[in-house]
Chain A
Amino acid sequence: MSVTRPPVGAPEIRRLDPVLEPGHTYASVTDKIAAVVLTRPLGIGWLAGFTLTFSLVMLLFGSLAWLIVKGVGIWGINIPIGWGFAIVNFVWWIGIGHAGTLISAILFLLNQKWRTSINRFAEAMTLFAVACAGIFPLIHTGRPWMAYYMMPYPSTMGIWPQFRSPLIWDVFAVSTYGTVSLLFWFIGLLPDLATLRDRAKNRFQQLIYGALALGWRGSAHHWHRYQSAYLLLAGLATPLVLSVHTVVSFDFAVAIVPGWHTTIFPPYFVAGAIYSGFAMVLTLAIPLRKVYGLEDFITMRHLDNMAKVMLATGLIVAYGYFVEFFMAFYSGNKFDVFLAQQRLHGPYAHYYYALILCNILTPQLLWFEKVRRNVAALFVMSLVINTGMWLERFVIVVISLTRDFVPSAWGRYQPTFWDFSTFIGTLGLFVMLIFLFVRGLPAIAISEMRELVAHESHSGGDHK
């Protein structure tokens, strides 16, 4: 059972770092994680960060208000480039969310113990990323107040959505994903909310956490059903997460536009989603463990493993880029060949080279253990990969649309101030929600950490 320990006396096999630093008890993990929420005073850093991100949220609201007043003409989109930043950002955000589900569901099914201390905030990250993603398809319609047309309901006009369209699939995929992620997150939180209720320092905390905990009392009967439901949800979320980015890639792949109409898109989109998601988990985990002193729980082992997942998914993404090129030339279709050349030599070629640098070349450094164990290097790497994944979506959306079949229909795309302000606004919203989350709810699953303590104390005994 103890995966972490090499056989006794095995030469030259380096011991892996522990998933949990030794010496912790049920009470100590509970105290440490709950204290961040219940007792720790608000520091100047938190307040400054919250203020900054809150102002960015105001920028977002301002941009959205201006958009509703003036319409999508305030953006850089035009004919033929009808999909600009809105779709780039949508795909980027929804992809980031995928790592949260991967960690909480797939690694759970694979019985990977190292997921325990990172699953909670990775799930929160998923929810917040989906919230940011959800804004874009809504506003890119131009008339967001008509968005309910996409839902199937018996309208007096007698019209119904077109269920053969990937855009309608998207509505169902993303809303299901958001709902299931919320349910998964909430039932994971339930025992921890009970812990916070029982340790509340004042009436206010007691009321809030007490109401949210629904009267959870840790009964063995309850745990039994709880575990059954949790396992089932993990099993359901696993194909769901793969389906979501597959459906997102169908938005492109089902169209006949050169550069989009390829069968590699679904797997390569899913890999890219996990790639960027793990990068975002690292971007959040590294400051979080530092600021709140959680290095005992989020150990080098976690960072190392996440770096390895990034390397693996990054290679799949690189393979995707290669296959895109190969198929373009192999097909002999002149539009596909032309588009591939446009990526290398066209007006947006510098984006493509930046993308290769960020997504393929830089991450090769992760082969080196020295880099995987250097926290600062990993942090920078995670930012580079997130930039790279954003560029990937920009390349896919913009280059294909600027150069389609007839030269008379070619165009150029230049994002405006409002494109940037909306995007930066959602970044602010995301980080602000994370700020609120780390101080309002336990950022690490306490009850699962206690289980880990029980497990570690067990497997530790017979080896020492």
Chain B
Amino acid sequence: MKEHPSQLFGVMGEFATPEQILSAAKQAREAGYKHIAAYTPFPVEGLAHAIGFRWTAVPLLTLIGGLGGGLTGFGLQYWVAAITYPMNIGGRPLNSWPAFIPVTFELTVLGASIFAVVGMLALNKLPQPYHPVFNVERFAHASTDRFFLCIEARDPKFNLAETSKFLQSVAAEHISEVKDEG
């Protein structure tokens, strides 16, 4: 392991209820901060929106996965039944499309589901075993009952003293520096 000088990643404050963190996040936006992250033990409605996150590609990826799965499914069956392995059974049509619907449907759902899950994980950059916020000892409560707001050091408006003061002004508890030791 190489020794890295630890860098400042951001300043983090803690809240006890979803309402508190929501209002703090809104105030942070209003104060002009851009790089804000919130960590909560369950999804808080409106929080992602409040910190400036509006659009996710997950539905689009799911659509692409579904279309891809469906087209692959039908294409495979058509190619097998009508082109590469045709079987003349009493002169019935080779492209008997109604019989191909169940497999087409199943592969549509399969493609869409895999794209939804893998796409969600990839966009979230998971798996990611290390993240600076894990260095904060109290952060273990983020998966139980505490709500954390972190203003990151890469924010142009970031200033250790000022930002800490700001967090204090929105009633955050246990304000601490987040160090990146990566």
* Residues in chain A within 8 A of chain B (CB atoms): 25-27, 30, 152, 158-164, 166, 168-169, 172-173, 176, 179-180, 183-184, 186-187, 191, 194-195, 197-199, 210-211, 214-229, 232-233, 236-237, 239-240, 243, 247, 250, 447-448, 450-451, 454
Chain B residues numbered 30-74 whose CB sits less than 8 Å from any CB in chain A? 37-44, 47-48, 51, 53, 56, 58-59, 62, 66
In contact, B121 and A214 (Cβ under 8 angstroms): yes
Query: With A176-B107, A220-B47, A227-B43 in contact, do A160 and B84 touch (Cβ < 8 Å)?
Result: yes
Asked whether B131 is an interface residue with its Cβ less than 8 Å from the other chain, the reply is yes
A30 partner residues in chain B, CB cutoff 8 A: 41, 144-145
24 contacts between A and B (CB under 8 A): A27-B144, A160-B80, A169-B103, A172-B106, A176-B106, A180-B113, A187-B117, A187-B120, A195-B143, A214-B126, A215-B128, A215-B129, A217-B139, A223-B40, A223-B44, A223-B48, A224-B53, A225-B124, A228-B56, A228-B59, A236-B66, A236-B112, A237-B109, A239-B109
A214 partner residues in chain B, CB cutoff 8 A: 121, 126-129
Query: Quick one: which of A27, A210, A228 has the most chain B CB within 10 A?
Result: A228
Q: Whole-angstrom distance from the CB of A165 to the nearest CB of chain B?
A: 8
B25 partner residues in chain A, CB cutoff 8 A: 220
Query: With A183-B117, A223-B48 in contact, do A450 and B107 touch (Cβ < 8 Å)?
Result: no
In contact, A163 and B53 (Cβ under 8 angstroms): no
A237 partner residues in chain B, CB cutoff 8 A: 109, 113
A216 to B77, CA, bound (A): 40
A236 to B96, CA, bound (A): 26
A27 to B121, CA, bound (A): 27
A160 partner residues in chain B, CB cutoff 8 A: 80-81, 84-85
Chain B residues numbered 139-169 whose CB sits less than 8 Å from any CB in chain A? 139-145
A250 to B98, CA, bound (A): 14
* Residues in chain B within 8 A of chain A (CB atoms): 18, 25, 37-44, 47-48, 51, 53, 56, 58-59, 62, 66, 76-77, 80-81, 84-85, 87, 96, 99-100, 102-103, 105-107, 109-110, 112-114, 116-117, 119-121, 123-124, 126-131, 133-134, 139-145
With both beta carbons as reference points, the residue of chain B lying nearest to A216 in the complex is identified as B126
A81 to B2, CA, bound (A): 70
Q: Whole-angstrom distance from the CB of A381 to the nearest CB of chain B?
A: 33
The 8 closest A-B pairs by CB, nearest first: A26-B145, A214-B127, A229-B120, A224-B48, A220-B38, A223-B43, A164-B99, A215-B128
Query: With A179-B110, A199-B140 in contact, do A233 and B117 touch (Cβ < 8 Å)?
Result: yes
In contact, A221 and B37 (Cβ under 8 angstroms): yes
Q: Whole-angstrom distance from the CB of B148 to the nearest CB of chain A?
A: 8
In contact, A221 and B77 (Cβ under 8 angstroms): no
Of the candidates A27, A187, A220, the one whose C-beta lies within 8 Å of that of B40 is: A220
A250 partner residues in chain B, CB cutoff 8 A: 102
Of the candidates A25, A179, A222, the one whose C-beta lies within 8 Å of that of B124 is: A222
Count: A-B pairs, CB below 8 Å: 187
A25 to B17, CA, bound (A): 11
B18 partner residues in chain A, CB cutoff 8 A: 454
A191 partner residues in chain B, CB cutoff 8 A: 41-42, 143
A220 partner residues in chain B, CB cutoff 8 A: 25, 37-40, 43-44, 47-48, 51, 53
Of the candidates B62, B76, B110, B129, the one whose C-beta lies within 8 Å of that of A180 is: B110
In contact, A218 and B143 (Cβ under 8 angstroms): yes
Q: Whole-angstrom distance from the CB of A11 to the nearest CB of chain B?
A: 35
Q: Whole-angstrom distance from the CB of B36 to the nearest CB of chain A?
A: 9
A168 partner residues in chain B, CB cutoff 8 A: 103
In contact, A195 and B40 (Cβ under 8 angstroms): no
Of the candidates A173, A229, A454, the one whose C-beta lies within 8 Å of that of B58 is: A229
A421 to B140, CA, bound (A): 48
A162 to B92, CA, bound (A): 14
A27 partner residues in chain B, CB cutoff 8 A: 144-145
Q: Whole-angstrom distance from the CB of A163 to the nearest CB of chain B?
A: 4
In contact, B62 and A217 (Cβ under 8 angstroms): no
Q: Whole-angstrom distance from the CB of B47 to the nearest CB of chain A?
A: 5
With both beta carbons as reference points, the residue of chain A lying nearest to B146 in the complex is identified as A26
A194 to B37, CA, bound (A): 18
In contact, B120 and A217 (Cβ under 8 angstroms): no
With both beta carbons as reference points, the residue of chain B lying nearest to A166 in the complex is identified as B102
A450 to B76, CA, bound (A): 45
A38 to B43, CA, bound (A): 24
A219 to B128, CA, bound (A): 13
Query: With A27-B144, A225-B58 in contact, do A236 and B113 touch (Cβ < 8 Å)?
Result: yes
A122 to B51, CA, bound (A): 35
A229 to B58, CA, bound (A): 6
In contact, A243 and B102 (Cβ under 8 angstroms): yes
Please name 8 further chain A to chain B contacts, defined as beta carbons within 8 Å, in addition to the given A30-B41, A179-B110, A239-B109, sorted by A numbering: A163-B80, A187-B117, A195-B144, A198-B141, A214-B128, A220-B47, A450-B42, A454-B42
